[in-house]
Chain A
Amino acid sequence: MSRGGDMSTVQVTAGVPMLQVTDVWKAFGNESVLRGISLDVRRHEVVVLIGASGSGKSTLLRCINGLEAVDAGTILLDGEIDVTAFKADLDKVRRRVGIVFQSYNLFPHLTVLDNVTLGPRKVLRESASSTQDRARALLARFGLLEKAGDYPDRLSGGQQQRVAIVRALAMSPEILLFDEITSALDPLLVGEVLDAVRELKSEGLTILMATHEMSFARDVADRVCFLNRGVVCEEGPPQQVLGAPREEATRAFLAHLLG
């Protein structure tokens, strides 16, 4: 499976974080959602965002993908592309940053295979045959090969979400953003999607994900960031943030989660 950036760029940019969010502000009307948030994600790192509903996790992920314009601050990709520049080439950013949403958002008029190949064919301008081969290989890896010719609404939620992951993956992104990709799923189907994420981690992909699955975060995350009042309130290895939180707000959030 190919990963964004060949060996030479890995070496040249070693040490520079894959993603550098610095002092980002974002408000909707009078509601200030991000209040000077800063966050780094290093190459091959899996970072998990946790926080109360409405704390701005989705907003942050959308800003990183350029789907939402920030009010202030900078977001640097690979130390070279500024997503927040006034004239940023957002199509270029999105080619390198994959995002998967809670509600899958597959294209209902296209088959699973066409969903996966649309980006590579139209954006990366790869040939139809090479994208199809690659798409099939990816689908096979996630146990979806026999669904290649089906339309999305024939698939279960878990299968649809795995197709959405494959669709993002087919663009060979350098970093993947997951926005609560399991929260619309039947509890029985959550496992298969999380297994897919584990697989991606084992391949060394760089992942930033918002989730409410604390046990999964503990298991897979290299680092957990707790968002509160528009900033990262506490961050660190999962054992520390989830097991022995230093901040009062983190403790309150975790206590609330456990009921």
Chain B
Amino acid sequence: MTEAETAAARAGSTPYVDPARVRYRKRHAVRSAAIGILSLLVTTAIVVAVVVRTPGWPAVQETFFNPEEFAASFPELVEAFWLNIRIFLIAEPLILIVGLSVALVRRLRNPLFLPLRLLATVYVDVFRGVPTLLVILLLGFGVPALDLQGAPDDVLVWGIVALVLSYGAYVAEVFRAGIDSVHPSQRMAARSLGLSEWQTNRYVVLPQAVRNVTPPLLNDFISLQKDTALVSVLGPIEVLRQAQIDASFNFNYTPYVAAACLFIALTIPMTRFADWLQARQRRQRGAGT
């Protein structure tokens, strides 16, 4: 570094780092990456070598990881998986609406709404307690059997309704916890500005509550992606049902593994997104909290 450069750095407002230090940091970063990759390769090689050498491996590979079976069933599975994705895409927004509404209803103070509040409480208690699969069976087979006028007789519709009811109860509790996590002084500050109860919720409490519960909500949604497979008990050919058909056809379980891969391919990006969101929130709030 020349005298002139030092003087320029001192005069300006741009940060200055010693070039030798820059080179050192770069070298260090490269070496860390290299060691990591090497360690990963070696470990993988050892694990693979050990697994492949176990006596049972050929049979396992034949039954679960059969390349021909995989290739043969995959296109159909992908097509069937599209139904899972559609179930998820329809159910998710409905669950958010049900969950948020129920959470808000449970906070209403006006005595006029007592029946509504009781209803919301009973709903959450019931649907959190009953297994999702049971709700799907009850609604999917039960309601069409009633032969109700005007009620859709598509089992898929009832399967989705069952998912929404079951997950809605969970999500309502998540939202309620989020609302409770906003410090009362925030409510007080909002009211002291003259904001009404409703405005206070809308502009001050809910935005903070939703932010606080976004990670657990994403978690519930990852779980919902998996539980779309439960609808298979009602008959629709979604990915699990398709895999079942393929597997029973030639007594090979590779289609199940292929279906599992599809679910994983969907949940991993979602999990990473949840992580990223959480990290961003931490950054936004500053290091202090």
* Residues of A that sit less than 8 Å from B by CB: 65, 67, 90-92, 94-95, 98-99, 101, 103, 105-109, 118-119, 122-123, 151, 153-154, 167-168, 171
Contacts and interface: CB of A to CB of B under 8 A. Distances in A.
Given A153-B285, A153-B289, A94 B208 contact: no
A91 B194 contact: yes
Interface residues of B, number: 22
A106 to B, nearest CB: 8
A107 B288 contact: no
B188 to A, nearest CB: 6
Interface of B: 185-186, 188-196, 199, 203-204, 207-208, 211, 284-286, 288-289
A171 B207 contact: no
* Chain B interface, DSSP helix/strand/loop, else mixed: helix
A122 B192 contact: no
A67 B189 CA distance: 10
Contacts of B204: 107, 118
Contacts of A95: 194
Contacts of B286: 151, 153-154
A119 B193 contact: yes
A153 B288 contact: yes
Which among B188, B208, B289 has the greatest number of chain A C-beta atoms within 10 A?
Answer: B188
Contacts of A106: 189
23 contacts: A65-B192, A90-B191, A91-B196, A92-B194, A98-B192, A99-B192, A101-B188, A103-B185, A106-B189, A107-B190, A107-B208, A108-B285, A109-B208, A118-B193, A119-B194, A119-B195, A122-B199, A151-B284, A151-B286, A153-B285, A153-B288, A154-B286, A171-B193
Contact of A105 (B188, B208, B285): B188
Nearest to B207: A109
A108 B285 CA distance: 8
A258 B16 CA distance: 49
